[in-house]
Amino acid sequence: MHYGAMTFRSYLFVGIFGLVSLGFCSGTATIQNPGFETFFAATDSFAFWKIDTAGKSNFIVTQATDSAHSGTGCLKMQIKDTTDITTSVRITGAITGLLPNKPFTITAWVKYANIPTYYNAMFGLQQATLTPGTWAWTDRKWLTPWGNDPGTTDWKQITGQGTTDDSANVFNLVISLSKGGPLWVDDIVVTYESSSIDGFHKQTAKYDNMYHNRISFSHEMPYSLEACSLNGQTITRTTGIASSLDLNRWDITNGVYLMKVKTSEKTYSSRVVVSR
């Protein structure tokens, strides 16, 4: 294949203190039944969600069909006795497509009443590292986006953020309620930044710059090369083994790109303009 000559003007580059990278190429993880549309009335359960059974006589988990934010239904949770300070309930749904060591954002539409403090209603990202012969759940990321507002009769969107564990490869979303309610939840979305290099800019070792659009590694090694548009869409991706890369030989059309080169040693990232 013949590659035409290109010129890259790098806005960010790797220097003696490393690179302060832009996060880019966001992705959306998958939660089945995120709007709580599918409900089995015979068993009081939602498709793809697990509900605590211990203490079930003390709480209500059901589908509300008269007050959904969108669609035909939403989740409704409530502790039956408003003075009960011992009962809590969780509903848990699996998340697929989420990656380790990535900044993530959970958004949901909620309304609620009689939730006295922020910790009485929480979202949790439950994480685990699953390897042959090993299984360990870790509840590391509890998000409390309700604040101290005791209630809202109108739907509002809440947002919680964090970073997934370095080695996690199994994820659940947990919604927890203790004391009070009702709490209504609808339209949950989980997104993440797919090219985070958190902490990389703290490195102090000297590496070759992305000057003249050429990157040199310490030795021949596997690499991945990726370009994304400014709206996060991946334009092209390639992998190989090399001791250096000449970005001028990457065949993409003119435009502004967020570009990333990743090796086992480090990640190079830059916003560049490609022009012939």
**pLDDT tens-digit series, residues 136-152:** 676 667 776 665 566 66
Q: What distance in Å separates the CA atoms of residue 276 and residue 256, rounded to the nearest whole number?
A: 12
User: pLDDT digit string (tens) for 19-28?
Assistant: 333 334 578 8
pTM greater than the 0.75 cutoff: no
Concatenated DSSP letters for 89-151?
EEEEEEEES--TT-EEEEEEEEEESS--SGGGEEEEEEEEEEETTEEEEEEEEEE-TTTT---
User: Could you tell me which residues are beta bridge partners of residue 75?
Assistant: 63, 185
- 82-96, 178-192, 205-219, 253-267: range with lowest mean pLDDT: 205-219
CATH fold of the domain at 7-22+197-275: Immunoglobulin-like (2.60.40)
CATH homologous superfamily of domain 27-193?
Galactose-binding domain-like (2.60.120.260)
Q: Is the pLDDT of residue 185 over 50?
A: yes
- Percentage of the chain surpassing pLDDT 70? 71
Query: Quick one: residue 179, left, alpha or beta (phi over 0 = left, psi -120 to 50 = alpha)?
Result: left
Highest mean pLDDT among 122-126, 166-170, 217-221: 122-126
The full set of domain ranges for the chain reads 7-22+197-275, 27-193
**Do the two domains 7-22+197-275 and 27-193 of this chain adopt the same fold?**
no
Binning pLDDT at 50, 70 and 90, where does residue 30 land?
Answer: very high
- Mean pLDDT taken over the chain: 75
Q: Which of 37, 46, 44, 52 is nearest to 176 (CA)?
A: 52
Q: Are 75 and 184 spatial neighbours (Cβ–Cβ below 8 Å)? A: yes
